[in-house]
């Protein structure tokens, strides 16, 4: 896959991941067993929705110029992998949380893997090489 193709796909994944972040609240409402961790009143869900909504907007904006936003993209990769791993352990060890293994846990890993595969490791490796003819 060429660098141009990778960046094109990366832009698409950034936008899709951004919209997925923005969809967190509706997912928590309509599929709570796969997306909501609290039953009853808790301030936590709206805090996490606010964080992910902000990340979603930033990912969508990063799609315009992914190479200028490598830190944000790599933060998203690593934080998604860590968050997904923690939630996977919690889903397996806490009664009634197994639904997350079909909801938010795989979503986080899919985002992390897709972005990791498509994102250049640095701006330098992403620059096209020029030959001077010497």
pLDDT, tens digit, 9 for 90 and up, residues 32-41: 989 988 777 8
Q: What is the mean pLDDT of the chain?
A: 91
pLDDT digits (tens, 9 = 90+) for 97-131: 999 999 999 999 999 999 999 999 876 666 555 44
| Spatial distance between the Cα atoms of 66 and 119, rounded to a whole number of angstroms | 8
Tokens of 37: 């961790």
Q: Which of 128, 18, 20, 19 is nearest to 73 (CA)?
A: 18
Residue 48, CA distances (Å) to 5, 96, 112 in order: 33, 20, 18
What lies within 8 Å, CB to CB, of 115 at 6+ separation is: 10, 13, 14, 17, 73, 76, 77, 80
Would you give the distance in Å from CA 31 to the centre of its chain? 19
φ/ψ (deg, to 5) at 37: -100, -10
Cβ atoms of 127 and 103 closer than 8 Å: no
Say what percent of the chain tops pLDDT 90: 77
């Amino acid at each position: 896959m060429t660098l141009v193709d990778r960046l094109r796909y990366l832009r698409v994944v950034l936008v899709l991941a951004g919209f997925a972040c923005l969809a967190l609240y509706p997912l928590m409402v309509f599929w709570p067993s796969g997306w909501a961790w609290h039953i009853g009143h808790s301030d936590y869900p709206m805090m996490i929705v606010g964080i992910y909504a902000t990340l979603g907007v930033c990912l969508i904006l990063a799609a315009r110029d992914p190479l200028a936003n490598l830190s944000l993209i790599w933060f998203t990769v690593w934080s998604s992998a860590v968050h997904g791993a923690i939630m996977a352990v919690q889903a397996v060890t806490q009664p009634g949380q197994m639904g997350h293994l079909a909801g938010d846990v795989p979503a986080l890993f899919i985002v992390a893997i897709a972005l990791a595969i498509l994102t250049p490791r640095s701006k330098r490796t992403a620059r096209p090489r020029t030959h001077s003819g010497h």
